[in-house]
Amino acid sequence: MIKVIIPAAGLGTRLKPFTHTIPKALLPVAGKPIISHIVDQFAGQGIDDFVFVVGYMGQKIEEYIRANYTISTSFAYQEELLGLGYAIHLGLSFVSDDDTVVILLGDTITEVDFSRIFDIGGNVIGVHPVLDPRRFGIVTVKDGRIVEFVEKPEHPRSNLGIVGLYLIRDTALLRRSLREIIETNKKTRGEFQLTDALAMMLSSGAEFFPYEISGWFDCGSPETLLETNRHILATLDSSPAIEGSVIIPPCFISPDAVVKSSIIGPYVSVAAGSSVEGSIVRDSILAEAVHLKHCLLESSILGTGAEFVGRFYRLNMGDSSQVILDWGKEK
């Protein structure tokens, strides 16, 4: 059986103020939460058994998944943030040694043909050339096989970064390797790293193959969240037409949102319950129940329930924020 482990316990520090009230995995991008983009990749592929490793506001993730999906789900709660290796160790509690494991990070959206990955023998690691290898787990490849794993090397010998996708067929060996680094307190940069367990598996004779991912989108900061929003919107077949307003594709506007006398787009997502009146909005994400009136907005993210009345600004507003600018004119 194939089981998918999605670690989503991070605090989302770089995404404050939004993550004060909502876990990072539930932040909206292109019309739905990040974690939905990840789960929906498996639709129609016969894979419906998921393990979510959650921590910070994990109950909200569990409630969302159970309310919106009929997949088989298990939830491992990570009380301490001790690294990705520790998160996967917890997730493996719901996996048998005979299972094949797919690991996808809960803040990364990838464009992957899983049928091609499953056709590759052995264990498979998703990689992508990166500009600064010192910020990533790095692999070295020789004759089509991975021969080295290093976590955030000071002097990298490769620019192939591990970008959050792992297919592990040697599940029992992964379990033993993770248990060993935890029991021996083997930490890199203060955490139990999955990369160290993979290196241990490699030393034990496991075979790893790289799979280069062309579409890889981080959602870990406001800037990358907007970039991911732009990319996904660009893949949509169409944008809605709204009488009395101009919609410049690509855009996602929920059927339950209200847009009046406005110019929306390009690259705008408007979630359910939001309203936009007399405004110009481009390159922005509006979460649920956002209210805009008489303003120009660009390159902005507005959290659930945010309200903004004013003029041209670039904003990152958390949930339930309110800004009303009084310029001496009757509103």
Q: Quick check: 319 pLDDT over 60?
A: no
The predicted pLDDT at position 323 comes to 52
Final residue in a domain of this structure, among 197, 224, 251: 224
Do residue 254 and residue 283 come from a single domain? yes
CB 201 within 8 A of CB 177: yes
Residue-wise pLDDT for 76-110, tens only, equals 999 999 999 999 999 999 999 999 999 999 999 98
Number of structural domains the chain divides into: 2
CB 201 within 8 A of CB 181: no
The predicted pLDDT at position 329 comes to 46
Q: Quick check: 322 pLDDT over 70?
A: no
In a domain, 330, yes or no: no
Q: Quick check: 325 pLDDT over 60?
A: no
CB atoms under 10 Å from CB of 113, counted, come to 10
Containing structural domain, residue 213: 2-224
**Sheet arrangement for strand 275-277:** 258-260, 275-277, 291-293, 307-309, 322-324
In a domain, 206, yes or no: yes
Do residue 200 and residue 69 come from a single domain? yes
H helix count then E strand count, the chain: 7, 25
Single pTM value for the model = 0.89
